[in-house]
Amino acid sequence: MSKVSIAVLASGRGTNFEALVHATRRPDTNGEVRLLVANIPDAPVLKRAEQEHVPAAIIPHRQFKTRAEFERALIAELNHHNINLVCLAGFMRILSPVFVAAFENHIMNVHPSLLPSFAGLQGMQVHEAVMAAGVKVTGCTVHFVNTDVDAGPIIVQRAIAVRDVDTPESLALRVLVEEHLAYAEAVKLFCTGRLRVQGRRVRVAGNEGTTGA
């Protein structure tokens, strides 16, 4: 079985990018991160790509007059590298239906909450909202991307308890650990051909009769 060719789209620090690179280098994953695409020319993730020896492309969205032009350039770059799976890792752009259709059920995102709760929020906003709501359990979700924000079919979720001593900052750090693990699991399931999307649900081959992915 040939390895699945993966591209990561990122705009910021790139901790999830780095975690995915390390995870896919394990022999049982059957995938390889072959490209990083950043839309911010000085994004710190570019340094991580250099350190990990992953080819990087910079496609600054501000250089395009329209989102459609930007996405056409993005799609062309991904097709040039024969990308099979697109992983969003702090990519601060809403993708249009045209882009989603070009890679239908082949785009993943990780969100720092247990979706559908706290959808539509970004970064620290999520953890601040979690603390303000007084919920006892939070976590992260890896999902396929569709045309609705944070609403695609859920692949993997990991949960942690919200501690009385937590702050939004401490919670963000603990959830990030779970993001790295959840994303690696979801990508491995995809790359080993175990995921099937059926409507709103993602079925995991080999998990029939179990209670989770």
Q: Is 111 a catalytic residue?
A: yes
Which phi and psi (to 5°) does residue 17 adopt?
A: -60, -50
Which phi and psi (to 5°) does residue 22 adopt?
A: -65, -40
Chain mean position to CA 124? 17
Give the span between the Cα atoms of 106 and 86, in whole angstroms.
6
> What SS3 class is residue 109?
strand
Q: Which two tokens stand for residue 156?
A: 């993997």
Tokens 């280098």 — which residue? 25
Give the span between the Cα atoms of 205 and 131, in whole angstroms.
36
3 DSSP 8-state letter: P
User: Can you say whether the dihedral through the CA atoms of 116, 119, 124, 129 is positive or negative?
Assistant: negative
Tokens 């953890």 — which residue? 127
Greatest Cα pair distance, the chain, in angstroms, is 51
Q: For residues 26 and 106, is the Cβ–Cβ distance under 8 A?
A: no
Which residue in 22, 81, 111, 127 is the catalytic one?
111
150 DSSP β-pair partners: none
- The residues annotated as belonging to the active site are 111
